[in-house]
Each structure stands twice: as C-alpha cells, then as structure tokens.
C-alpha cells in the first residue's frame, strides 16, 4: 500500500467524479474544483475539500489531476494568471487527463519545467462505464520518471496504462483512439439502421453479429443503449466532435489523408446541428434512422 498523497482534482463531471472517488477510496486527501459546484457535492460529502478556483486547489497539492472539456479549458486552467502553473508548488506533478491538443500538451510541459514542475498528458478511453469501474485505458506522454511516479495513482483509475513517449504522445495516441471509436460507431449504427430498414429486428441482428467478426466494444455497450432510445451521455457528442477536429488538424499538418475521419466529423457535425450536443455519442444512430 502506497502512502496517502495530497491530490487536487479539477473537473468532476461525468467521468471526473468517478475517477476522483477512486482516489478517495484509496485513502488520499482530495482538494477539488469544478465549474459547477453541485457536480462535486458527492465528493464533498465524503470528505473532499472545495476550492473556488483550480489554482487555489493546486496550491494545496503535491499531485494535480485535471479532467476538463476542451483545449481552451485546459489552456485557461493551466496557463492563465492565477492558474495551476502559477499557483502549484515546485515539485508538483501535473496530470492532465483531458483529451486535448498534442501541441498544447507540449507547451504546458515546457512551461511546467520552467516552474520546476512536471507535467504528463494522460487522456483516457472507456467512457463513464470505464471511469466507474476503474477500467480506463490511459495513454501517457511525458518523461519516463514522471510516468513512473504517477503510475500507482493511475492504476487506481485504469487497467491498461502505457507510456507512449515525450509530452504530447498521450494526446496523439488518444487521437488514434478517437478515430477508431468514431468510425466503429458509424459501423454499428449503419449496420443496425440497415437491419431495421430491411424489416429485421435490430435487437436480434445485434445478438447475431455482436458475437462474430463484427463484434466491438461499441456494439456491445453503446448499441443497446441506442436501440432502446437511451442517448444519455457516457461521452458527449460535442466532445467527440472536438476530438475529431483536433485529429483532422493534426492529420492535415502531416499531409495524411483520412477520408473516414473526415466523414465521421461531417456526420457528427450534422448530429450536433440537430441539438444533440449534450447527448451521448450513440445518438448518431438517431441520425441514420431519421435519414
């Protein structure tokens, strides 16, 4: 058993709240901040301490986790006056688990080093289920020494944890993940929409194809939600579209043509325009049914 640590956790939304709870369960002291305080209440009831800003929470901690929505949130939280880099004590380890920009991850790591801090980019995959069950896949960029220091805590949050290289490498790995997720989601949504339009029972088709070569995590976990009309977010449409745009930009910078990614971004943009930004990514099934 590792000694208890003093941890700041910034961002207690759909996934962050479960992740922070696992750290509490492990006996660590928790200092939290979230844009909406009510989302942190379950943690506060269990003994976590509330702070009015990310910088104030970070100043109390030896390790800072962030789980935010957009690269702009990450940039403001870390780099703005009064933010994490300004307020954290020298020697603090910063772990950003937001899916963000590789370039921003490199910039934060560089600025952190100047402040005698260490920074990891450690985005995750597994959605709300993976967060609740502490079975996330965690993709890490940064120095090997910082990764090894963070590993005992990351093991409280996930089961598949790999170091991919210097700062930004975790974000690049997450972009690869999001490309596969988005195209996989289109695949099962199209298959089940085809089945329904052909007069078959989608649930029966799902049972047949999920056990064969077409099987996938999304087909197993998200397709049943979609078929039952459950579009509650495990991962938001607006956040996946943000990720796909980052991936497209990175692909363009390396002159890599990814037509499947471009199509997924186009379809999720159409879905967002129907008012579905706060729905789960499985809501793409609805777009096919309405076509």
Hey, which residues are catalytic here?
A: 174
| Max CA distance (Å), the chain | 64
- Parallel/antiparallel/unpaired status of strands 63-66 and 118-121: unpaired
Q: How many residues does the chain have?
A: 291
Sign, CA torsion 88/91/97/99: positive
Report the distance separating Cα 5 and Cα 148, nearest Å.
15
Q: What angle do CA 31, 33, 39 make, to 5 degrees?
A: 110
Q: What CA–CA distance (Å, rounded) separates 68 from 96?
A: 8
In Å, what is the CA distance from 5 to each residue of 2, 29, 179? 9, 6, 35
């Amino acid at each position: 058993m590792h000694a208890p640590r003093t941890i700041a956790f910034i961002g207690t939304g759909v996934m962050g709240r479960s992740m922070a709870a696992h750290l509490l369960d492990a006996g660590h002291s928790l200092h939290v901040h979230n844009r909406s305080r009510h989302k942190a209440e379950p943690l506060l009831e269990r003994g976590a301490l509330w702070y009015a800003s990310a910088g104030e929470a970070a100043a109390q901690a030896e390790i800072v986790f962030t789980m935010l929505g957009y690269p702009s949130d990450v940039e403001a939280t870390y780099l703005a006056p009064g933010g994490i880099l300004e307020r954290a004590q020298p020697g603090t380890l910063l772990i950003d688990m937001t899916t963000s920009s590789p370039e921003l991850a490199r910039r934060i790591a560089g600025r952190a080093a100047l402040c005698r801090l260490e920074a990891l980019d450690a985005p995750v995959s597994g959605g709300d289920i993976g967060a609740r069950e502490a079975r996330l896949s965690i993709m890490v960029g940064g120095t090997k020494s910082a990764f090894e220091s963070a590993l005992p805590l990351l093991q409280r949050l996930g089961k598949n944890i790999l170091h991919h290289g210097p700062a930004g490498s975790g974000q690049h790995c997450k972009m690869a993940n999001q490309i596969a997720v988005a195209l996989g989601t289109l695949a099962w949504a199209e298959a089940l929409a085809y089945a329904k339009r052909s007069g078959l029972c989608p649930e029966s088709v799902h049972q047949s194809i999920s056990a064969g070569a077409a099987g996938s995590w999304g087909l197993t976990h998200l397709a049943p939600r979609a078929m039952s009309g459950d579009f509650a977010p495990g991962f938001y449409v607006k956040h996946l579209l943000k990720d796909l745009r980052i991936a497209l930009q990175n692909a363009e910078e390396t002159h890599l043509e990814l037509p499947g990614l471009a199509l997924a971004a186009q379809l999720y943009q159409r879905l967002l325009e129907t008012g579905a930004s706060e729905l789960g990514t499985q809501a793409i099934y609805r777009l096919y049914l309405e076509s």
